[in-house]
Structures are given as C-alpha cells and as structure tokens.
Structure 1
Amino acid sequence: MPLLQPQDPTAIQFRWHKLTTWPLLMLGFRPLFMLAGLSAVLSISVWIFILNGQLEWHHKYPAIYWHAHEMLFGFAGAVVAGFLLTAAQNWTQKATLNGAALLSLCGIWLAARLSFFIPQSSATLTLLLQATFWLLLLVNLSSVIITARSKNNRVFIFSVGVIGCCNIAFLTALNNGDFLQVGLLSQSSLIAYMLLIGVVSGRVIPFFIARGLQKDQKPAIRTVDRAIFYLAILCVCISPLQSSFLHAHYLNSCLLILGCLHLVRAVYWFDIRLVKVPLLWSLYVSYFAIAAGLLLCAYNRIYHLAFWRDHLHLVAISGMSLMILSMMARVTLGHTGRSLTTHLSTTIAFTCIVAAGISRAFLIHFTSPHNAWLISALMWVFGFFLFLITFSPMLLKQRLDGRQG
C-alpha cells in the first residue's frame, strides 16, 4: 500500500462530550501538525529575541542548546509523531492514538516545551517528559504495526527508537553539564532524522512524482536504498565518538558517501515537469538540499574549514524542514478530503524555508553572522506562520465529506 494514500473513511457525527468525535483529535496529524507549526513560529521568535539580547536566558547552560533541542525534538518530534500515527493507521487499517489518548500525548509534548521555562530548573523534568512522549509513541506504533504483521514498516519503529534514544542522551548530557557531548549529540540526532527521511523519501518521492505527473513510477535502486539506511545508522553511532581523530575521519567519509548516495537518488528521480507543481518541487528541492548539505559538511570537515556547522543548517532547514512543511501540507490536504492543489500562500511558505536555509548557510560570506542568522530566522517564522494561517482551519474542521479522519 502506498505511504499515506488516504483510505475511504467512515462517516461520523460530532458529539462534544466524546473526544474521538472532535475533528482535532480524530487522527494524529491534526493536533501534532498544528503544535509543530506553533512551535516553529514561537521557538524561533524567542530565539530571535535571545540573539538580539532582548530576552535574558535563565539557565546555566547556553541557550543554543535549548534552540537545538526544540528544533530537533520539539518541532521535528511533533511532526514525526503526527506523520507516523497517521501513516501507521493507513498501512494497517488499525486505529492509532485518538481522542483522550492523543490529547494526553499532545499534553506531554506541550509540558516538555514549557518545562524549559521554569526558572533555574534542571533538564531532569524535560528528560522525563520527553522520554514519556517517545515511549508512548513507540508503544502505540509497535502495537499497531506488529499486530498487523506489517513487516515492511517495522523500520519506523526502529527509527523512532533511535531518535528517542538520541533525545534522552542529549538531555542527560545537558543535565550533567557535558556541553561538548551535547554538541556532538545534536549532530548525531540530526543524522538520526536522516535515517527516517532516507526511508520515507525513498518510498514517497518517486511515488508522488509518478502520480503527480501521471507517469510510470521509477523502480527503486535497492542497493542504494540499503546503503543509505546502514550508512545513516553508522553515522549516528560514530558522531558522538568523534573526539578521536580516527572516529572523526570515519564520520567524514560516511557523510561524503551518504551525500553522494542521496545525490544519486535525487538525479535518478528528477523530471523537469515537477518544477510546475509546488507539492512536488518542494519535496524534491528539500531532498536535493539534504544531499548538497551533507556533501558540503563533509568537504568542510575534511579540509578543516570553519563553515561546516553553517552548511549543516542547509540540511536542517532547506532539507529536513522544507520536507516537513511539504509533507504537512500534502497530508493535511489529502486527509481532510481536499484536492492536492496549493494556495499561493503555501508556495510562498515553501520559498521562504528554502531561502531561510540558503541564508543561514551562505549569507555569512556577505554579511555578519548575526545578520545572516536573523534574516534566516525571520524567513523561517514567516514561512511557518503562512502554514498556520492556511492550514489551521483545515486541521480544526471535519473532513469536507464529514467522515472520520
């Protein structure tokens, strides 16, 4: 079954006292995509105030680690949960979290965001909340996928487990004041998302291109797909250990090969006609940005240049975050019974996130780093603000056909 191809849902009548009939709580993508959009706007807005010195940071650890955590595990974590809860129900025809259970998961996620703003608190509370969030998600996904004997999708259980472990390790190191390890785990966590993206993109991008352009789908290159998966796992394992020269050398080599393999897939999938379809070009550009960003990171690290962290943001923003935005738009349209056509505001939002990543990665060569960061952050905020005003009404209302989903 193709990933996230909506099935025919059953009709449902709204009852205010029954949470499972609330449109916002019917399926995981609805509340979690909205929370992710709010997190994207609010977290980076706070970050702008911190960068400008207009907001005082109240913890012993630097604010940069809060920023990294909220992007990797707050914003992206909500999207992963919403996407997989929706996809797993579609794959297996078994209900994932909804109603009160889904509301509880969202409440735990929100509590974890707020826990950072308790004055002089340690990361222990955040650690407990985040661990609970990932555990609940993992248990529900495992139950649904294993019960349905959906062997091809067990890889997503593994991927969520890896991301959750990275999150726990990150917060443990932060709580212990081991900031060097926190920085290394930030990189490892981003690569952990590449593990998930490598699997998802290999399934959905060629399928969506074929469907959107009404042509035959190109067959997968299995050798490349497997190599991408196992190399990503290797990178996740090596990244926290790169304090030694040997491990750093291994990581550089893995990043270089991984970037090349992603580039091979990007070239293989390309069709010039996709540039006319926003839901297609946004996915393709995001995937290409991941390949380009990984190659630039490897180049900078091999030659000991100072810009590899900036180029890592090309992977995180124009790559992962643009893919997130594009998939949130597509899933919201498809699973609320709408046609896969986008408003101008959505195209502008996609463009803003592309520009935000390019600005963060390259504008430092033409202006001060501070200005480059602010320009990138402002474009990010505007892009996700457009997502919220365009898609929130769809997420809050019932499907157009009045059915459940």
Structure 2
Amino acid sequence: MSESEPPTRSRQPFRPFFALAAVDAIVGVLPWLLPYGSRSANGHRDELLWGMVPAVMAGFLLTALPRWTRAPPMPAALVDALLLLWLAGRLAHWWRPDHGSLLAGAFILGLAATLGVRVVAAGKTREYKVVALLVLLALSALLPSVAADRLPAGFPHRLALASVLALVAVIAGRIIPALTTTWLCLHGRAPARRLPPLFELASALALAAALGCWCLGVGGGTLASACAAILHSVRLLAWRPRGALGHPGLLALYLAYGWLPAGFALLFFHQAGLGLFGENAAIHAWSVGAVGLMCLAVMASMIRRQTRRPFSNSGTLTAALACGAAAVPSRLMAEIAGRIWLLPAVACWIGAFLLFLLAFRAQLPWPLAPSAKPGRSARAEARPPG
C-alpha cells in the first residue's frame, strides 16, 4: 500500500474474514485426529459449508463489491456487525448446534442482503445470480432447524454443497480467465478467446441440472452428470491452463476448478454402476478440491491483488497450495484403500491453512481503528508474504 492511499484501506473486509476462515478450516477437521469415538459425523461438513466457506465469501464479496458496483467501500461498522454474527454462529455451533445453524443462516442472509442492496442500486443484474445462490446457501443452513423432520436425509448438506459449487463456477469463471489473460500478456503471449455466451449458458444449465438431480435424488442424473463433466472440462481447457504452469497461485486455481468436472465424472461412474469409487468420492472431490483448494487459492489471489503483488512468489504460500492440492487425492484414496489415508489427508489440509496464515501473517491482522499511521501500514504491506 502506498502512503498516498487512504488509511481506511487497512480495514478491508478480506483481512478478518480470511484469517478466521483459515482458523475455522483447521478447527473443523481437528476431531479427525481424536479417537474414532470422538469424531462427529456431520461436524466437519457444517464447519466447511456453513463456517469456512461463508467467511471466505464474505471476505471476497465485501472487498470486491465496491469495485463491481463503483460504490464507496463497505462501512467498517457493517463489516464488524457481520463479523460478530459469524463468530456467534461458530461459537454456538460447538455448544448448541441448532442455534449455530440458525445464526449461520442469518449471517449468510445478511451477506446476501448487503450484496443485493448494492447490486440493485447499481443496476448490476449480472450479480443477481450470486445473491440468489447465497440465499440458497442460507436456506440450507436454516432447514435443519426449521424442517429437519420433513426433509430427506442429507438434503440440507447437499443443497449447501450444490449452492457453493455453483458459486465456485460463477466466481472462478471471472477470476481464472482474467488472471490468465494478465499473466499471458505479461509474458508476451496472446490470451485465450472468450467462450461463446451460448456455451456458457449450456455449461451453467448442465451444472444446475446435474446438481439439482443429485440434491433431489431424481432420475436423469446420470446424463446430466456426464454433460456437466464434459462441458466444464471444455470450459477449463478453453482458459488455457498450460499458460498457468509458470505460477503456483494460478495453477492452484486451475487444479481446484478441475475437481468440479472430476467430481461430476466420479458421480457419473457411480450412477452408472462403473468404477471403484462411490458417491462419497464425488462429494470429497468437490468439498476438498473444488471448494477447499479453491477457497485457499482465491484468498491468496485476492490478498496479492489488494496488496499490489498479484504474481509475486512465496515459498511458504507455494507449500500451502501444494498441501491443499495433496489433500484431495489423499482423501479419495481413503475411499478405496481404507481409513489409514485419512491421516495424511487431514495433515495436508491443516498444513495448507497453517502455512497460508504464516504466508500472510503481515497482511491479515484487522486494525482496531481506521486511524493507523499510513507510513507504518505501507511498511507492513511492503513485506513479502512468507
């Protein structure tokens, strides 16, 4: 940050939310290191879908929203209020899970309302789908408390994961091509051509159909899963992933998005009665890879962008992204080779987020007051991550 920038920049929303999201990601899998009888069947899913992911979304959207809508930065009081609501939900999750899910739903609804008011006022109809998906995610958090006895088993978690995967597809479709184009232009190479709007529509419809069939458990899901796997693989390849090989942060975004069509492929093989993997393999390909690794890579990308170092190198961050990438195959191996593979998967996951916190230890602290001395902030931002 330069000394000419306003000091309020130091209170950007990504700082507290990203730091707490990383801590929550670590805490959520710690029970797996305890004896088998102490593990919670659903606790780590709740932490991921209604804890870590909403925090990452809040940090990303509240920081990006002023640029998307050409509006002033988010008021610090509003960010603080949302932050306290998120913290209340996470604390309640451990003592009163029913209240925790209600507070998580309230937080996500608050985030959706904040986003909705701004995008409507700015006339940004392109962002309506992000608001709608946040509302669906909030609904998934509220359902276990208000209608648990009238829902199919596992439906709230399926709806939550489907909503998050759709958000991944939307946001990655903006971040990855833009960063790839910038990277290729910096190296004197022509950027990839934009995909036709008709193809983007077809891939979105295939995604919605496949996830809808999976959530509801209705027929026709096999064909929809195959279409989603093919179309989103083509989408990924059209962004020119070979151009990302020179930068770990960009490569991690591609690897994370790659687990989206891979999960649909695994689901297709399961639905068709083929292959060694069951439905859980698709779920963990999505949750650990398309969601977990994507959150890690998106947080790193936004922090670098906001601190004016989008393509800087960091050995610590590279190690974090490598651990995040290694967690996915380790977790999938547990599906076919036994629970012994859970330990390396958990170790990689925890290592990834611990290293992330270490890499950005100078960028994530949330100042108590917006009146920090500009010179001091400038020196803190100038330190290389990791």
SS of match in other structure, 2:41:
helix
Percent of matched pairs sharing the same residue: 24
1:68-119: CA deviation from partner (whole Å, max 9, x where unpaired):
111111011111111111121111121354422211211111111111222x
Maintained 8 Å contact 1:252/1:298:
yes
Q: Which residue of 2 aligns with 1:234?
A: 209
Residues 241-280 of structure 1 aligned to structure 2 (within 5 Å): 241-242=216-217, 247=218, 249-280=219-250
What letter corresponds to residue 359 of structure 1 in structure 2? S
Q: Which residue of 2 aligns with 1:17?
A: none
Give, in angstroms, the shift of residue 127 of structure 1: 3.3
Matched, 1:106 2:83: yes
Maintained 8 Å contact 1:290/1:319:
yes
Residues 87 and 241 of structure 1: CA distance in aligned 2, closer, same or farther (over 3 Å):
same
Residue among 35, 43, 48 paired with 1:71: 48
Residues 296 and 339 of structure 1: CA distance in aligned 2, closer, same or farther (over 3 Å):
closer
| Structure 1 unaligned regions, length at least 5 | 1-5, 14-20, 58-62
Q: TM-score, normalised on structure 1?
A: 0.83
Give, in angstroms, the shift of residue 363 of structure 1: 4.3
Find the aligned partners of 2:140 and 2:226 in 1 and give their Cα distance. Answer: 22
| Structure 2 unaligned regions, length at least 5 | 367-373, 382-386
1:265-284: CA deviation from partner (whole Å, max 9, x where unpaired):
12222342321211211111
Maintained 8 Å contact 1:43/1:70:
yes
Residues 208-357 of structure 1 aligned to structure 2 (within 5 Å): 208-214=179-185, 215-242=190-217, 247=218, 249-303=219-273, 307-357=278-328
Residues 279 and 151 of structure 1: CA distance in aligned 2, closer, same or farther (over 3 Å):
same
Q: TM-score, normalised on structure 2?
A: 0.87
Residues 53-202 of structure 1 aligned to structure 2 (within 5 Å): 53=37, 56=38, 63-95=40-72, 97-118=74-95, 121=96, 123=98, 125-174=99-148, 176=149, 181-202=152-173
Residues 1-40 of structure 1 aligned to structure 2 (within 5 Å): 11-13=5-7, 21=8, 23=10, 26-40=11-25
Find the aligned partners of 1:101 and 1:271 in 2 and give their Cα distance. Answer: 38
Residues 306 and 97 of structure 1: CA distance in aligned 2, closer, same or farther (over 3 Å):
same
Maintained 8 Å contact 2:192/2:240:
no
What letter corresponds to residue 58 of structure 2 in structure 1? A
What letter corresponds to residue 239 of structure 1 in structure 2? W
- State the 4+ residue runs in structure 1 displaced beyond 4 angstroms: none
What letter corresponds to residue 314 of structure 2 in structure 1? H
Give, in angstroms, the shift of residue 47 of structure 1: 3.6
Q: Which residue of 2 aligns with 1:16?
A: none
Maintained 8 Å contact 2:241/2:251:
no
Q: Which residue of 1 aligns with 2:351?
A: 382
Maintained 8 Å contact 1:170/1:182:
no
What letter corresponds to residue 142 of structure 1 in structure 2? G
Maintained 8 Å contact 2:180/2:191:
no
SS of match in other structure, 1:337:
coil
Find the aligned partners of 2:235 and 2:210 in 1 and give their Cα distance. Answer: 19
Residues 162 and 139 of structure 1: CA distance in aligned 2, closer, same or farther (over 3 Å):
same
Matched, 1:205 2:190: no
Give, in angstroms, the shift of residue 402 of structure 1: 9.0
What letter corresponds to residue 169 of structure 1 in structure 2? L
SS of match in other structure, 1:88:
helix
Residues 173 and 393 of structure 1: CA distance in aligned 2, closer, same or farther (over 3 Å):
farther
Residues 315 and 122 of structure 1: CA distance in aligned 2, closer, same or farther (over 3 Å):
closer
Find the aligned partners of 2:97 and 2:83 in 1 and give their Cα distance. Answer: 22
Q: How many residue pairs align between the two structures?
A: 367
Give, in angstroms, the shift of residue 262 of structure 1: 0.7
Give, in angstroms, the shift of residue 164 of structure 1: 1.5
Find the aligned partners of 2:159 and 2:225 in 1 and give their Cα distance. Answer: 12
Find the aligned partners of 1:351 and 1:183 in 2 and give their Cα distance. Answer: 31
Q: Which residue of 2 aligns with 1:3?
A: none
Find the aligned partners of 1:171 and 1:71 in 2 and give their Cα distance. Answer: 18
Give, in angstroms, the shift of residue 339 of structure 1: 4.5
Find the aligned partners of 2:361 and 2:145 in 1 and give their Cα distance. Answer: 31
Maintained 8 Å contact 2:50/2:101:
no
Residues 328 and 122 of structure 1: CA distance in aligned 2, closer, same or farther (over 3 Å):
closer
Maintained 8 Å contact 1:314/1:357:
yes
Give, in angstroms, the shift of residue 170 of structure 1: 4.1
Give, in angstroms, the shift of residue 10 of structure 1: 6.9
1:153-187: CA deviation from partner (whole Å, max 9, x where unpaired):
2221122112212222244455x4x7x83423322
Find the aligned partners of 1:80 and 1:288 in 2 and give their Cα distance. Answer: 20
What letter corresponds to residue 323 of structure 1 in structure 2? M
Please report the RMSD computed on the Cα atoms of aligned residues, expressed in angstroms: 2.6
1:305-351: CA deviation from partner (whole Å, max 9, x where unpaired):
66221232112212221111111001011112335213111111111
What letter corresponds to residue 141 of structure 1 in structure 2? L
